[in-house]
């Protein structure tokens, strides 16, 4: 003979306290999610963009090699363009889909975005790109190790999977201006498309307009600067390889090139937005 015992949570202090604690935790989680949902969207959008782009780099470098020709350059540019489109598409419905500190800072400079929220966006973009680099390294650990040992003989060549660098025939100065001008054009294209979009259907094409623009810019300027046009795309992976075994060469390589893909796009983004406001 069995007896079923029914316990009323309303009369059981232990269960009632546990139920209240669970509700409190859920409310706190919901509050954080509501407060930072745009920031989380920027993290995931940037993560998708940078991870897929780096995967294109890794695939081409480990299969084709460091001496890849124009066809590989074109394929790489296309891959980064499509990756940007997907990254923006992930974040756009929630945060607007910046996924680029140059976009965020240009909007702040032109008083179109609050500075406090911008700090959260910038942190999310950098952290997202670091996480993307770490994931890519984990996924491609074997091919990267093989390429480093058997083909390139060192970490310096495999660093090119993660970060940009000036072309063989380009100076750091020419790379700086390539990044500045390229980012200015990217911002002009994005702002022009967003401000001319008067329907949700038209706005839905913004990620692909940005991706197409990046494809063109990476094809045109990639041989000069590596085609970054996004501080997070370079700085996050560079920070990762600095602490993941590549060492100080992540900073000192190519005559301390590291600051150019960070500073030039920030200036270029503001210049592009300013030019659009003046002449459009």
Q: What is the mean pLDDT of residues 241-266?
A: 96
Q: Is 14 part of any domain?
A: no
| pTM: predicted TM-score of the whole model, two decimal places | 0.88
Tabulate helix, strand, coil % of the chain (nearest 5). Answer: 80, 0, 20
Domain with 68, as residue range(s), is 39-279
The model's pLDDT over 96-110, given as tens digits with 9 standing for 90+, comes to: 999 999 999 999 999
Kindly report, residue by residue over 146-195, the tens digit of the pLDDT: 888 776 655 678 999 999 999 989 999 999 999 999 999 999 999 999 88
26: in domain: no
Buried b or exposed e, range 171-186, using 16+ CB within 10 angstroms: eeeebbbbbbbbbbbb
Section 189-217 average pLDDT? 89
- pLDDT (tens digit per residue) in 113-126: 999 999 999 999 99
96 is a domain residue: yes
**240 or 6, which is more confident?**
240
Spatial separation of the C-alpha atoms in residues 259 and 94, rounded to whole Å? 31
pLDDT digit string (tens) for 14-61? 555 666 666 776 776 566 666 799 999 999 999 999 999 999 999 999
Instruction: Please tell me the total count of domains within the chain.
Output: 1
Note whether residue 226 is domain-resident. yes
């Amino acid at each position: 003979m069995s007896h079923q015992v029914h316990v009323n949570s309303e009369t059981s202090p232990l269960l009632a306290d546990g139920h209240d604690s669970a509700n409190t935790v859920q409310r706190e989680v919901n509050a954080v999610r509501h407060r930072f949902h745009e920031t989380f969207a920027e993290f995931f959008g940037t993560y998708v963009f940078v991870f897929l782009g780096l995967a294109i780099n890794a695939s081409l470098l480990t299969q084709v090699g460091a001496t890849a020709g124009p066809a590989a350059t074109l394929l790489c540019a296309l891959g980064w363009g499509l990756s940007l489109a997907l990254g923006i598409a992930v974040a756009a419905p929630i945060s607007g889909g910046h996924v680029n500190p140059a976009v965020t800072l240009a909007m702040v400079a032109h008083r179109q975005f609050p500075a406090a929220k911008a700090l959260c966006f910038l942190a999310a973009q950098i952290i997202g790109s670091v996480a993307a680099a770490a994931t890519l390294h984990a996924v491609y650990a074997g091919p990267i190790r093989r390429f480093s040992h058997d083909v390139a003989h060192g970490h310096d060549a495999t660093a090119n999977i993660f970060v940009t660098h000036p072309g063989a025939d380009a100076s750091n100065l020419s790379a700086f201006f390539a990044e500045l001008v390229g980012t200015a054009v990217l911002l002009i294209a994005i702002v022009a498309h967003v401000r001319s979009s008067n329907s949700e259907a038209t706005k839905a094409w913004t990620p692909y307009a940005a991706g197409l623009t990046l494809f063109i810019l990476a094809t045109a300027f990639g041989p000069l600067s590596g085609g970054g046009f996004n501080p997070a795309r370079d700085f996050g992976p560079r920070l990762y390889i600095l602490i993941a075994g590549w060492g100080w060469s992540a900073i000192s390589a190519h005559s301390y090139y590291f600051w150019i893909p960070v500073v030039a796009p920030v200036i270029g983004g503001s210049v592009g937005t300013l030019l659009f406001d003046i002449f459009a």
